[in-house]
Structure 1
């Protein structure tokens, strides 16, 4: 576990944290969500029960929506994206009763629960695929899988164990829609993060509109997140609430190389934000520092200082912020690597930082709005912007470097100068004639 350097933590104003402070806002659509990706076995054993035991801590952190990585039956040792039964909980995670208890406790704590749906493909060990391979065209499931001119099942990339489903076959669309509805009706889940949604969009784009309409008839407030680029407006127009902050190329994160060199962070971040904003409304963009496909954790690749400032960006910029298992405590692992539970009792200072940022976002409408205006800065490593909602204005100043800096900011009608320490963050409120700190600049 990476050790954090000594520092005096940045703190919110005491008035802001007091019980008499503004009420926390959790109502509304996806724009008010704080999503948290959960790998169940990283929480302990048995996995689903371990997640349930930790729900109060996630609610205390300020999370509103849980996304459980795949919990459907899968071959032994698989992460979960090779499904062999869409209607069964994987035995190494627990039972249907364990899932139902998790959902019930999450709802008691006002948390939504999303399952990870895998409709693009099945496992090559799925009973339907095994029957099709054994019996060929005489199998009733032969047409369930997309095939090339030679009759062989197709797949993407090197996913040879994940044959593509054939949505030109009506029975496949009915099967996947019925499976999706089943978990909503029987376990009371609140929606889905949909794996490889882009794949079905390429092969059978009409499916998503029909599928989402069926789910919304059963559950009007269902939450649907597409693993696909938000820069393609198709997904929101076909029923999804949000899609990933990717480039146009599947799997390539818009922020992938933004943080590689501190001196270039402001310009690279601004460019990525503007490229996405030119196409996708910010309210429908899922933003993240870590997820199941980003390999080594952000803190491992960029260090604790950069991780701390990037967290402030994630939670103060437009979009839907998504944290991932252990991110708030600086956990270091690879999602598809060796298993092991995260030590959530560690990383208290970082967790407190995340908790304060989340509380600030949830209580200030300007930090959840779609409005975002960059502020010119005299320092090349500082990125600053104003968020606005009605008359409320919030100024965010981020120092993406380990060195202290004095920075002049070109704030309209209220030019200001700040002294920031290395990896410093300042979040200020306009009082009409100047700016008042909500978060004092951090001292490392």
Structure 2
């Protein structure tokens, strides 16, 4: 969650009057603000009923890690992502920002960062993704701007005489409100309807003019704290441009507000912003299974809500495979693709890339895959696409022994073939005893390995062997 303050500052070349003139003349607006819904009634996201979201595999893209010409180089690699099984790419912030920043210090919502490429190159990227059957969502930053944003600089210089002073929250003259230690990211003032208009205008612009398919909305929880009505108004406005728009909240999926106010998916967080629901699971290898069981039992999203599950993202620091090694990583990846929700692969996860997102790493060496993770990712993704139960919202934990084992049942909405996932979170092979769900009393097949699994039936349930850090994705043999 922490975003380091940028080391360098600069003045914007484009003056406030020019920026304001463009916006005021409606260069970016799709419809007058007065025409938008302003009702307090909620507009729900579609979540599990979304036409393509419920089946999607999402890939978080840091464009600069694809090459020195990010938009062009990413466009070239789109077929490889498609081949892996990716359905949606989520672009880390691509709006104009200050030099050396990851992108959350936005200086212009209606322009792109020049080091990534031109608008024409971005349009080519979106068009190519669509031609391959993939969707594109942008990371959009509505909670704050950079201090270097022309509006904020004008407000600093002129104080309350600036027409943009009320675009920001102030705790004292010259001292803007901000979250955490983000002193370089002043909060926007959502009590000002012109701020709402600016945000919605910008969101409409990229959907209407570039055909993007949705957004991951940064610090959505912070905007909710200050203006709970903005998100349903945003959903209504965007659906008028593209009815199938897809919205991900950077906020906890445990809060029903997001799914009843415009969002389709939200993060696998605790109720505390930025805290992964699984962050304490990995602290003690001997306790991974029981801690996972506790986390999964406590993390059921509200009805209809779709949780975005991840091992890495822009805020998780050192990569999962670096911290925990390839064996635990393989088992954890199996969780992503066999649990209900929206599975996220972040840039380079599938090749075991090691980097820190905010440290300006060089482009990845995409042909290197030291742990042979890419074929494993591809196999799990293909399995998820083939077995409908793995894409449903239905999930229940199953009793197992020993304590280092974990099992859960995935069932289909239509009552079709179920899937039983059995995991061994131990460095040694183990015989795992499972209380058999209905339909799992005969011979079983491991869909991950493609082989039949010998099972011993006893009074206390089924017993099967599972390799060290191993996973069985089981279906009844017909």
Q: What TM-score do the two structures reach when normalised by structure 2?
A: 0.83
Query: How far apart are 1:261 and its partner, in Å?
Result: 2.0
Q: Which residue of 1 aligns with 2:38?
A: none
Query: How far apart are 1:317 and its partner, in Å?
Result: 0.5
Q: Which residue of 2 aligns with 1:428?
A: 474
CA distance, structure 2, for counterparts of residue 54 and residue 261 of structure 1: 38
CA distance, structure 2, for counterparts of residue 411 and residue 202 of structure 1: 45
1:339 aligns with 2:361: yes
Q: Which residue of 1 aligns with 2:164?
A: 141
Q: Is the 8 A contact 1:31 1:283 kept in 2?
A: no
Deviations 1:64-123 (A, max 9, x none): 111000001101000000000111110111111111011011001111000010000000
Query: How far apart are 1:374 and its partner, in Å?
Result: 1.6
Pick from 305, 308, 325: which aligns with 1:286?
A: 308
CA distance, structure 2, for counterparts of residue 334 and residue 301 of structure 1: 12
Tell me the secondary structure at the aligned position of residue 115 of structure 2.
coil
Query: How far apart are 1:150 and its partner, in Å?
Result: 4.7
Q: Is the 8 A contact 2:436 2:462 kept in 1?
A: yes
Q: Which residue of 1 aligns with 2:437?
A: 412
CA distance, structure 2, for counterparts of residue 245 and residue 72 of structure 1: 26
Q: Which residue of 2 aligns with 1:169?
A: 192
Q: Which residue of 2 aligns with 1:243?
A: 266
Query: How far apart are 1:152 and its partner, in Å?
Result: 2.8
Q: Which residue of 2 aligns with 1:441?
A: none
1:350 aligns with 2:380: no
CA distance, structure 2, for counterparts of residue 39 and residue 281 of structure 1: 32
Deviations 1:355-389 (A, max 9, x none): 11011111211001111122222222211111111
Q: Is the 8 A contact 2:85 2:381 kept in 1?
A: yes
Q: Which residue of 1 aligns with 2:121?
A: 98
1:327 aligns with 2:373: no
* 5+ residue gaps, structure 1: 1-26, 433-444
Q: Is the 8 A contact 2:259 2:305 kept in 1?
A: no
Deviations 1:284-327 (A, max 9, x none): 11110000000000001111000000000110001111110000
Q: Which residue of 1 aligns with 2:417?
A: 392
4+ long deviations beyond 4 Å: none
CA distance, structure 2, for counterparts of residue 45 and residue 399 of structure 1: 42
CA distance, structure 2, for counterparts of residue 358 and residue 92 of structure 1: 33
Q: Is the 8 A contact 2:156 2:174 kept in 1?
A: no
Query: How far apart are 1:409 and its partner, in Å?
Result: 1.4
Pick from 334, 355, 360: which aligns with 1:312?
A: 334
Deviations 1:193-247 (A, max 9, x none): 0000111101111111111110111111001000001111111111110110100
Q: Is the 8 A contact 2:270 2:276 kept in 1?
A: yes
Tell me the secondary structure at the aligned position of residue 247 of structure 2.
strand
CA distance, structure 2, for counterparts of residue 392 and residue 70 of structure 1: 41
Query: How far apart are 1:260 and its partner, in Å?
Result: 2.3
Q: Is the 8 A contact 2:88 2:137 kept in 1?
A: yes
* 5+ residue gaps, structure 2: 1-49, 442-460
CA distance, structure 2, for counterparts of residue 157 and residue 335 of structure 1: 19
Q: Which residue of 2 aligns with 1:128?
A: 151
Tell me the secondary structure at the aligned position of residue 226 of structure 1.
strand
CA distance, structure 2, for counterparts of residue 293 and residue 235 of structure 1: 21
CA distance, structure 2, for counterparts of residue 364 and residue 407 of structure 1: 23
Deviations 1:5-27 (A, max 9, x none): xxxxxxxxxxxxxxxxxxxxxx9
Tell me the secondary structure at the aligned position of residue 384 of structure 1.
strand
Q: Which residue of 2 aligns with 1:295?
A: 317
Query: How far apart are 1:259 and its partner, in Å?
Result: 2.0
CA distance, structure 2, for counterparts of residue 166 and residue 394 of structure 1: 49
Q: Is the 8 A contact 1:260 1:302 kept in 2?
A: no
Q: Which residue of 2 aligns with 1:264?
A: 287
Q: Is the 8 A contact 2:168 2:188 kept in 1?
A: yes
Tell me the secondary structure at the aligned position of residue 156 of structure 1.
coil
Query: How far apart are 1:153 and its partner, in Å?
Result: 1.3
Query: How far apart are 1:282 and its partner, in Å?
Result: 7.0
